[in-house]
Chain A
């Protein structure tokens, strides 16, 4: 198998196993969470451990497919604020990361230190969901990227504990280093117990989105 064919298979596997970074990046005290995401820009995985109900520490690995750059970083996340209601929950998360980015292309520029900061916020009821997240990434000679994404969701029915929860969602993202800077992705979210799966298709950039989260 050639290196490019190998990368294609790895990308396909990553897409199939991808997870949503926006799905509660801090868990309960002592809880582990595996998150994988695959969208038009990258395929990424994050494994984190919650040392308290408002702080998690994880390891992130992502492949920026367009530039063929990989990023490996330590990623702490702080649940800065949670609003508790009888019928809703709202959160503000702050995150950051420090690691190494490596150019995997044929004309490789080598490696450089990478760092990022991000903010995520969401408001959710049993049937409505709104979120926004932003990330600013610096990779030295390998380039800097920024990303903004907002999401709106609606659940056609309210599932009880342990039942399958289904959401219809629409994500709008903005990445200024892409030709299509602002794009739209309709998606379906399926949620049952400790597992969450999302599948969508970016209609602007003609790219699939697959996300998966598992909490244990």
Chain B
């Protein structure tokens, strides 16, 4: 029992390390907001940015620093077409492509299929392990905000790096 208590003590004392890492995310957010205030938006190239039209900086957690580095190297993949996605698009659904971080195996795909597949706004979806993307088609007339997508990805156990919609999602 002494050994178990010792291990528990070591484990608990190590938890602040994890908490510090979360602070880093928050610090990044604070820095991001600070930079926003200092930015000259006329000099910004919005065409290269991945912010979706419903992006809200105050409502979500940003990717960690290592995730941010990965974003810089990502190419903008278009929606992956399957029979279901093609049919959903033909019915007037809106295409969405989500770059997902940490997707390395079929368990990741199963998790996102289960979580996103339960949403009535989603008419078709596909997790592409090669592209590391989640392709969604949102029902005509329905909406799924960036914040919703981020929260659903988190419930599945993952983080998102970028969201592209409409023409950008189709590779346009």
A positions within 8 Å CB-CB of B: 23-24, 26-31, 52-54, 79-89, 92, 94, 115-117, 119, 124-126, 136, 138, 144, 158-162, 165, 191-194, 196, 215
Give Cα distance in the complex from A4 to B53, angstroms: 68
Give Cα distance in the complex from A49 to B11, angstroms: 23
Q: Which of B36-44, B85-93, B103-111 contacts A (4 or more CB under 8 A)?
A: B103-111
Contact (A125, B104) CB under 8 Å given A28-B111, A29-B115, A138-B1: yes
Give Cα distance in the complex from A136 to B6, angstroms: 11
Query: Contact: A191 with B3, CB < 8 Å?
Result: no
Give Cα distance in the complex from A85 to B70, angstroms: 6
- With CB as the reference atom, state the residue of chain B lying closest to A193: B106
B positions within 8 Å CB-CB of A: 1, 3-4, 7-8, 11, 15, 18, 21, 63-64, 66-67, 70-71, 73-74, 99, 101-112, 114-115, 126-130, 132, 154-159, 161
Most buried by B among A124, A126, A158: A126
Give Cα distance in the complex from A89 to B4, angstroms: 29
Please indicate the chain A residues that have their CB under 8 angstroms from the CB of B74 in the complex: 86
Query: Contact: B107 with A215, CB < 8 Å?
Result: yes
- With CB as the reference atom, state the residue of chain B lying closest to A144: B3
Query: Contact: A85 with B7, CB < 8 Å?
Result: no
Query: Contact: B109 with A80, CB < 8 Å?
Result: no
Q: Which 6 pairs of residues, A with B, have the shortest CB-CB distance?
A: A86-B70, A28-B111, A84-B102, A84-B101, A89-B102, A53-B157
Query: Contact: B156 with A28, CB < 8 Å?
Result: yes
Query: Contact: A161 with B115, CB < 8 Å?
Result: no
Query: Contact check: which of A83, A144, A193 meets B66 at CB < 8 Å?
Result: A83
Query: Contact check: which of A23, A26, A28, A162 meets B155 at CB < 8 Å?
Result: A28
- Nearest-CB distance from B98 to chain A (Å)? 13
Give Cα distance in the complex from A161 to B106, angstroms: 6
Please indicate the chain B residues that have their CB under 8 angstroms from the CB of A115 in the complex: 1, 4
Please indicate the chain A residues that have their CB under 8 angstroms from the CB of B101 in the complex: 84-86
11 contacts between A and B (CB under 8 A): A27-B111, A52-B155, A84-B67, A85-B66, A85-B102, A89-B102, A117-B11, A119-B11, A161-B128, A161-B129, A162-B109
Query: Contact: A165 with B106, CB < 8 Å?
Result: yes
Query: Contact: A124 with B21, CB < 8 Å?
Result: no
Please indicate the chain B residues that have their CB under 8 angstroms from the CB of A86 in the complex: 67, 70-71, 73-74, 99, 101, 132, 161
- Known pairs A86-B70, A126-B104; list 18 more (Cβ under 8 Å): A23-B107, A28-B111, A29-B156, A31-B114, A53-B156, A79-B157, A81-B21, A83-B102, A85-B70, A86-B71, A89-B108, A94-B11, A117-B7, A125-B104, A136-B4, A158-B130, A160-B130, A191-B105
